[in-house]
Amino acid sequence: MNAVIDTPAPDFTAIKLRQQATWASGDYAAIGTTLQIVGETLAEAADVRADEALLDVAAGNGNATLAAARRHAKVTSTDYVQSLLDKGRARAQAEGLNVQFQTADAEALPFGDASFDVVLSTFGVMFTPDHQQAASEMLRVTRPGGRIALANWTPAGFIGRLFKVIGAHVPPPAGVQPPSLWGTEPHIVELFGAQAANIRCERRHFNFRYRSAAHWVQVFRELYGPTHKAFAALDAAGAASLERGITALLDELNTAPGSLVVPSEYFEVVITRA
C-alpha cells in the first residue's frame, strides 16, 4: 500500500515578501527603461485610446504606463515596490504626462469591479506567485468588453531559459508555478478563458543589446533583482558556476559576433473581457 504524502501548500505571503525584496534590490529601473519599445508595442496591440481608464499592473518604472499616457489615456500605474513607482513618476513628470501612481498588490487590486477599460502588464504580473488570483483580479477590474493586454517572457525564449539556469543554482520556491507559464497559450486560456470573449496571442522578440556577454552579466548582476539576489545567495564557486552558465547561454543565442545582440521571445496577449 502506497503512503499518501501531503504536499504543503506554498506560503504565498512569505514568497511575495521575498519577491518584493528581490525586485526592490539592485536597480530594475535601469534595466526597465531599455524595454520601453515593448510598452509601446503593447499599447498599440491593445488599441489604447484617448480618455480610456487604464490600469498598469506591476508597472515597474512605467514603460506601459508612459506608452498609454502618451496616447492620452487616463492612466493609473501600480506596483508593490514604491521605489519603482517613484522612478515612473519622475519619468511621467519629465514628459508632462498626467498619471496617477498607487502602491498595489497585483493579487489584491484596490479598485472596484469593472473600473477600467484597459488593463496592461509588461513582464510584471507574470511574476506573481498565485497566477489564478492575479488573473482573477485583472478580470474583475476590467469592464465587460474591455481589454487586458500582457507581455510575458516564454519558457523557450532567452529569459525563460535564463531562469532555468538560475533555478539550477538557486532553486525557486517549492509549489509555485514558473512565471514563464504566462508565456504559453494553454496557461493563458486556463487563467482567462472562462471570462474571455476573445484571446489573441502573438510571439514577438525583444533584442537585448550590450557590448559583450561579460557586459550583460555585469549589468544584470548589479541591477536586475533576480540575478542580483541569485549571485548574492551563492558562495564564490557557485557564483562562478552561475556566471559560466549564463555566459554560455548568451554566447549560444548571440546574433552579433563582436558585440552582443540576444533576441528574447515574448508572448503578446490581448484578451477581450466577456
Beta bridge partners of 75: 54, 99
C-alpha span between 120 and 148 (Å, rounded): 6
Q: Which strands make up the sheet holding 196-210, listed edge to edge?
A: 99-103, 74-79, 53-56, 116-122, 142-153, 260-273, 196-210
Mean pLDDT of the chain: 95
Residue 256 class from Cβ within 10 Å (0-12 exposed, 13-18 middle, 19+ buried)?
Answer: exposed
Q: List Cβ neighbours of 33 (8 Å cut-off, separation of 6 or more).
A: 61, 63
Tens of pLDDT, residue by residue over 105-143, are 999 999 999 999 999 999 999 999 999 999 999 999 999
Decide if pLDDT at 238 tops 60.
yes
- What are the grid coordinates assigned to 213, written together? 556577454
Give the pLDDT confidence score for residue 10 in this predicted structure. Answer: 82
Q: Which residues of 63-82 are buried (b: 16+ CB within 10 A; e: fewer)?
A: bbbbbbbbbebbbbbbbbbe
Give the pLDDT confidence score for residue 160 in this predicted structure. Answer: 97
Q: Is the pTM of this model over 0.85?
A: yes
Query: Which residue ranges make up each domain of the chain?
Result: 12-207+264-273
C-alpha span between 8 and 6 (Å, rounded): 6
Give the pLDDT confidence score for residue 98 in this predicted structure. Answer: 96
Q: How confident is the model at residue 17 (pLDDT cuts 50, 70, 90)?
A: confident
Distances in Å between the alpha carbon of 203 and those of 42, 150, 157, 270? 12, 12, 10, 12
Give the pLDDT confidence score for residue 51 in this predicted structure. Answer: 98
Say whether domain 12-207+264-273 belongs to CATH 3.40.50.150: yes
Mean pLDDT (whole number) for 225-237: 96
Give the pLDDT confidence score for residue 163 in this predicted structure. Answer: 95
Tens of pLDDT, residue by residue over 27-43, are 999 999 999 999 999 99
Q: How confident is the model at residue 13 (pLDDT cuts 50, 70, 90)?
A: confident
Q: How confident is the model at residue 24 (pLDDT cuts 50, 70, 90)?
A: confident
Decide if pLDDT at 199 tops 90.
yes
Tens of pLDDT, residue by residue over 135-177, are 999 999 999 999 999 999 999 999 999 999 999 999 988 889 9
Q: How confident is the model at residue 1 (pLDDT cuts 50, 70, 90)?
A: very low
Q: List Cβ neighbours of 84 (8 Å cut-off, separation of 6 or more).
A: 23, 24, 28, 29, 32, 59, 60, 61
